[in-house]
Each structure stands twice: as C-alpha cells, then as structure tokens.
Structure 1
Amino acid sequence: MPGLFAPLTRTVTYTRWLHLLCAAVLAFVCGAVYPGLTSPSLRDWVLIYVVPVPLLVLAAMVPVMRRAEGLQARLMLFPGGHARVAGDGGEGDVSVAPSASWRDRARTAVWLVLRLFSGLTVALVSGQLMALLLELAGGAAGQPVGTVSPLRPPSSAVGCGLLVPVVLLVLLYVVVGAGQVTARAARLLLGPSAAERLAALEERTERLLERNRIARELHDSLGHALTVAVVQAGAARAAGDPAFTDRALAAIEETGRAALEDLERVLVVLREAEQPVRGRPTLREADRLLDSARASGATVDVTVEGPLDSVPEPVLREGYRILQEGLTNVLRHCGTVPVRIALTVADGRLSLDVRNTLPTGAPPATGGAGHGLRGVRERAALLGGRARTGPVGDEWRVHVELPVA
C-alpha cells in the first residue's frame, strides 16, 4: 500500500503536471483569439487543439528550440540530484543539443504537438475534476450543488463528503499517469540522435584512453622511483661504506625528485581536464634514468645510432617510458646485473633494445605477464609499433620498434 501512494509524494509528479499545464497556455491564448473561449462548441474545441499546430511546427524548425525543450524536460520531467527521491538518471536520455538535421527538427515538431495535445487534455480534465471537487466540498458543507461543475454530484452531504477523497485521488493519478507517459515520450522524441550518441561514445572512449595513459604514467614513474630507492637502500645497507651510502642517498633523492615532478604533471591533468600535459621527459633526457640505474650498482652500456633529433616528440616521450620500464624491470627482478641498451634510428623506425643477464638460479620466465611489460606492449601498439619481451639464451630482452614517420 505505501508503494501505491508513493508517486503522490514525489515532487516530480507535480513538476510534470506544471510542465503539461504550461503547454496548454499557447492553446488557450490562440483559442481566445480564434474561435473564442465563450461557450465553445465541440467544433470550437477541435479548432483550439488544431490552430496552434502550424506555429509549433514552424518553431520546431529553429535549431535552438530542441535545446530549450530538452532543458525544460530535464528540469521538470525527471527528478534531479536535489530531489528527495533520486531518479534513475533518465534525464541523461534527453538531449540538450540544438537540432543538427531535419530528422531532429521533425522529432522536435512531433514532440511540441504531442506536448500541446496532452497538456491541453490534462488541463481540461484537471479543470473539470477540480470543479467537481469544489462542488463536492461545498455539498459536504451543506451548500447547494450543481452550479460549478457540469458533472452531477450527489445531493446528500454525506455522499459528497465520501466522494471528495475519491475524486482527489482520481485527479492525482491522472496527473501521475500523464506525467509518466510524457517522460517516456521525451526520451523517445528528445533523445540523442545517432550522431550525438556516436559523439558521446567517442568522447567516453577518449576519456578512458586518457585514464589508461595516466595510469601507465603513474605506474612507470613511481614504480621506477620506488624500485631504485629499494635497490639503493639495500645496497647501501649491505655495503656498510659511508661514501657509498652518500651516493645511494643522492641517487634516491634525485630519483624521488623526478618522480614528484612526474606526479605533479599527472595531477595537473586530473585537476584541469583541458590542461595539456607539458614538460614530459623524452629520450633526450634519458641520462637521468641511466645514472640512477648505475648508481644502484648496475653496469649500463648504451649505444646510439642514427639521428635521434629527427624522431617526433610523441615517439621520444613514449620511448622514454619504455626505457624506464625496461630498466625498472631489470632492477626489480634481476638486481644489479649488466645491462646493454641500443637505440637505433633507421629505415623510418626507432628501435629500442634492452638486454640484461639473467642471474644464476633465477626462476623460469613467465612470458612478461606483469603490468609493466604489458604497458610496454600497449605503448608500442598505440604508436603503430610492436614490442617483444622474453628470454634469449641467458639474457632477458625487451625489443621495441616504433615508426617515426
């Protein structure tokens, strides 16, 4: 039983009623001009319904009319965040974009005519039921009946009193039903077009890609910094040499500072959606990665062939992250082992090759199923390149090829 009366306590029930009554205003204004509202006949009522239709069709041809109707529908037909009972998000099914095609204009015209007819009908029914309520209330108070409503109430005061709540409930449920039908029609006729749905899907895809990119940035940068710090701290404790400890602390400080800079760049992007990412490191600044790895005790040999300055910035940025993950993978899983790095720019491609010796007694390779190496393959694929990771003899190899055209 409480569920039966729940719609009567919701604010949206009455905002939908107001939405429909507002639509009837145009019909009454036009009807006052022609054919007149003084004792209208059945023919006059038909004209009151029909006369405003050409005006509404012309108004629907204006693109911004669809936006105006969409905003009204969102505000009055669906419960928003301020409502006591939260809605189901249905307002998101109503577009607030101007008409972009003749199909949109046609759907807007149908919506305006439907809103006019339903609004005028609800206004007439509401008026008759409210007049009957006044008659019944007056009859229950002992006043004569039959002077306001065309509907004939009972003559007894008791009968009038018993019918008051019945008629009131009928009125309210007429309003509830008409409002629900109107909300469904709004979803159908004012909903996003195919082009708008496609644009929204593309925007959502872009946001997801940006979130994945930010997640990779954080994983690579912070993962590298923490790995270097752990390796350096362990090596300093094992060495017991004050000079080595000083060098280790300096390397930890430098790596941590670089990670904080990367974190600040990512936070700027998260705080300001339109803020472009600036100052991201590239392979030209790879020396700090190599220095941090060497400071950990690893022997790092680097070979560079080809014009690195001719490589586009996006490729250099992703190449830096790939090299960072490669070095992090070495330090995390193999420790301070010799590492050979080869950077080659030739035949329209940038080749990045990272090899390290597998320590004796190392566990069998898993095929590179970790998040870091998966991120390497994803970065390469996004740029149209390819990446291969895995053991080659007694070495672990990360080989990436990226197009530079």
Structure 2
Amino acid sequence: MPGILSPLTRAVTYTRWLHLLVGSVVPFVCAMVYPGLVDPSLADWALIAVLPVPLALAAAAVPGTRRAEGLQARLMLFPGAHARVKGDEDPGVSATPSASWSDRGRTAVWMVLRLEAGLAVALVSGQLMALSLTLTGAAVGDPGPTAPLLRSAEPGWAYALLAPVPVLVLLMIVAGAGALMARAARRLLGPSAKERLAVLEERTERLLERNRIARELHDSIGHALTLAVVQAGAARAAGSPDFTDRALRAIEETGRAALEDLERVLVVLRETSRPAGTRPGLAEADRLLDSARSSGAEVDAEVSGALEHVPGPVSREGYRILQEALTNVLRHAGPVPVRVRVAVEEARLRLEVRNPLAAGAPPAGAGLGSGLRGIRERAALLGGDARAGRDDGQWLLRVDLPLR
C-alpha cells in the first residue's frame, strides 16, 4: 500500500497535473465560442476535442513553440530533486527551437497529445471532484440536484467515508497520466540527432581540453619540481657556496616559469575575459637546456633548420615534448650526458633525446607515470609519431611531427 500511494506524496504528481490542466485551456476557450458549454452532448464534446487541432498544428510550425514546450515540460514534468524522481538531472527534453521539419512534426504530435490528454484529465477531474462533493453532501443529507439517487437516501457517516475515494482515484489517474506524458515528452521533445551530435562534440571538446590542461600541468610543474629536487640534492652534495648559489638561481627561474604556466592554466579554467597569455615554443628551448645543464647534466644540443618557420602549434607541442623528455632523464637517470637533436626539415620536425641508462635505474620514461603517454598523445594530436626504447645501450626518444 505505501508503494501504491507513494505518488500522492511527490510534488511532481501535482506539477504534472497542472501541466495537463493547462493543456485543456485552449479546447475550453474554443468550446465557449462554439458549440458552447451549456449542456453539451457527447457529439459536442467530440467536436470540442477536434476544433483546437488546426490551431495546435499551426503553432507547432513556429520554431519557438518547441522551445516553449520544452521549457514547460522540464519545469513541470521533471521539476527537480525535491520531487524525489530519479533522473531529474537529465530529463532528456530539448529546449531549443525547431531546426527541421522533423522537429516541427514531433512538436505537432506533442501539441495535439497535450490538448487531448489535458481535456480528458480536466473532464475526469471535474467529474470525480463533483462525485466527492456529492458524497460529502449526502453525509449531511444534502447531496445536491446532480445526484437524484442519493436525494432520497438517509444521511449517514458511510457517505463521509466514501467521499475521499473519488479523490484518491483521481490522484492515481493523474499520476499515471503524468508519467505517460513525461515519457511522451522525452520521445517527442527530446533532442534531435543533430542536437545529440552537437552535445557529443561539445563533451568531446571539454574532455580534450581537460586532457590538454592535465598535460600542461604535468609537464610544467613536474619539470620544475624535478629540477628543484635535483638542484637541491646536487647543491647539498657539492658543499660549494658558488654551486649552491647557481642552484638556487636555477630553482628560482624554473619556479617562476612554472608559476607563469600555472597562472595561465588557471586563467583558462576560470574562463575569465583576461587573455591567457602565450605558451612557450621551441624558440625558447635554450631555457630548458640551461635548466638541465644547471642540474649537472651534460647537454649536447644540435639544432638544424629555421625554428621560426615552425607553425605555432607544432612549436609549442615540441617545446612541451622536449621539456618532458629532459624531465624524464633527470628523474630516472639523474645528471647524465644528454644528446638533443632538433631538425626542421621541409615537411617535418624531428626531435631526438638520447641518454645513457643509469646502473640499476629504470629507463627514462619507462615507469608507470604519464610522461611517455603524454608525449605520444601530443604527437598523435598533430598527426605525428613518438617512439621510445633502448637503442645500443642507451635510451632514445624519437618524435616526428608534420609541419602541415
């Protein structure tokens, strides 16, 4: 019994009831013009149900009607978490204007369904409420002129017990009709294939942006922290004031650059109108090489070709790839000799980072972290390729990026 009566305690039942009754307004207004509401016959009621249909079809042809009906359905058929109805976060009802004749057709079917269902629920509501009032009157001996069978009956408390029954029946009918209308709204007012595709594209863009921001933070902050740890350890082991001074200066510069990257990422996340600033490119690769050298690594760098002719996206991603490669070397192999080759060819950018493997240490980037995965993702997004592995007793990272 509690499960059967549970719809009566939900706010959504009554907002759906109101939504249905609002749909009966147009048929009753038309009935006031013709054929009238004074003692209508069954034929008159059939005519009242048919007369507003052309108006509904004409209204459905207006693109904004679908938006208005979708908003009403969202607010009244799916009113929110307070109604204790599952799935309220995504009712599946669109609130955008009609973009095609298919949308207009589904809206037309919805409009006609809403008129007919609203008229039926309004008539049933009136009859059952009248019956409840009649039973209440019969309990005190005055059932009213509409109930001749009860006029001759003796007043009794049994009629008072029966009076709530029509109301309960009405509420159960309303709950069922409201649930059916909610399902119909999802089918008829739900997003079209074009809208679902647009939502999917927007969701994909958000996921890509989150992944890009995660890679940015991983590369920038991870590089800064790795250099800071290596520099601090080297300074403590050296015991030289001059070396300690250089190490602290390198930590300061690297930390400042990391803070700039962090601020730029936070600007993007906050979606403020303030420009996010420019991301570093390969033209600033000397900063990365100097940071690695200050950590004790012997960096042999060779650059061939014009870096200024490298397209912006390729240059920026190449900078991050080089940053992550040097970070992996310092993290996994320590301050070892590193050979860096950057070649700008006619149609490709080739980047190689080679370093010896430290004794007993895993190869750079071979752990369970996301460094190599991020490098491969960056290369794949540009249509390039990234490969890493052992090569003649050393660890080699080779990245090819197309310039077009």
Aligned equivalent of 1:216: 215
Give yes or no for contact 1:135–1:149 (8 Å, CA) kept in 2. Answer: yes
Aligned equivalent of 2:20: 20
Aligned equivalent of 1:31: 31
Aligned equivalent of 2:143: 145
Unaligned runs of 5+ in 1: none
CA shift at 1:258, angstroms? 0.8
Q: Distance in 1 between matches of 2:230 and 2:179?
A: 65
Aligned equivalent of 1:325: 324
* SS at structure 2 position matched to 1:93: coil
Change over 3 Å in CA distance of 1:24–1:274 after alignment to 2: farther
CA shift at 1:17, angstroms? 0.5
- For 2:31, the aligned partner's letter is G
Give yes or no for contact 1:269–1:275 (8 Å, CA) kept in 2. Answer: no
State the Cα deviation string for residues 92-148 of structure 1 (Å, max 9, x = none): 3000111111111000000000000000000000001111111111222x1321424
CA shift at 1:360, angstroms? 3.4
Q: Distance in 1 between matches of 2:272 and 2:211?
A: 15
1:291-370 aligned at under 5 Å gives the runs 291-363=290-362, 370=369
Q: Distance in 2 between matches of 1:216 and 1:385?
A: 17
- For 1:401, the aligned partner's letter is D
CA shift at 1:257, angstroms? 1.0
- Bigger drift between 272-281 and 178-187 goes to 272-281
- For 1:77, the aligned partner's letter is L
CA shift at 1:301, angstroms? 1.7
Q: Distance in 1 between matches of 2:3 and 2:210?
A: 42
* SS at structure 1 position matched to 2:96: coil
Aligned residues: 403
- For 1:80, the aligned partner's letter is G
* SS at structure 2 position matched to 1:344: strand
Give yes or no for contact 2:142–2:151 (8 Å, CA) kept in 1. Answer: no
* SS at structure 2 position matched to 1:40: coil
State the Cα deviation string for residues 208-257 of structure 1 (Å, max 9, x = none): 11111111111111111110011011111111111111111111111111
State the Cα deviation string for residues 351-393 of structure 1 (Å, max 9, x = none): 1111112223434788565310111011001100001111111
Aligned equivalent of 1:95: 94
TM-score by length of 2: 0.95
Alignment of 1:267 with 2:266, yes or no, is yes
Change over 3 Å in CA distance of 1:90–1:248 after alignment to 2: closer
Give yes or no for contact 2:66–2:189 (8 Å, CA) kept in 1. Answer: yes
- For 2:39, the aligned partner's letter is S
- For 2:287, the aligned partner's letter is R
Change over 3 Å in CA distance of 1:366–1:322 after alignment to 2: closer
* SS at structure 1 position matched to 2:300: strand
* SS at structure 1 position matched to 2:126: helix
State the Cα deviation string for residues 274-326 of structure 1 (Å, max 9, x = none): 87743111111112211111111111121111111111100011001000000
* SS at structure 1 position matched to 2:35: coil
* SS at structure 2 position matched to 1:92: coil
- For 1:325, the aligned partner's letter is E
- For 2:229, the aligned partner's letter is V
- For 1:118, the aligned partner's letter is A
* SS at structure 2 position matched to 1:191: coil
1:108-257 aligned at under 5 Å gives the runs 108-140=107-139, 142-148=140-146, 155=153, 156-257=155-256
CA shift at 1:89, angstroms? 2.8
Aligned equivalent of 1:73: 73
State the Cα deviation string for residues 46-70 of structure 1 (Å, max 9, x = none): 1100000001001100011000000
* SS at structure 1 position matched to 2:24: helix
Q: Distance in 1 between matches of 2:375 and 2:194?
A: 35
Identical-residue share of aligned pairs (%): 67
Change over 3 Å in CA distance of 1:349–1:48 after alignment to 2: same
CA shift at 1:265, angstroms? 1.1
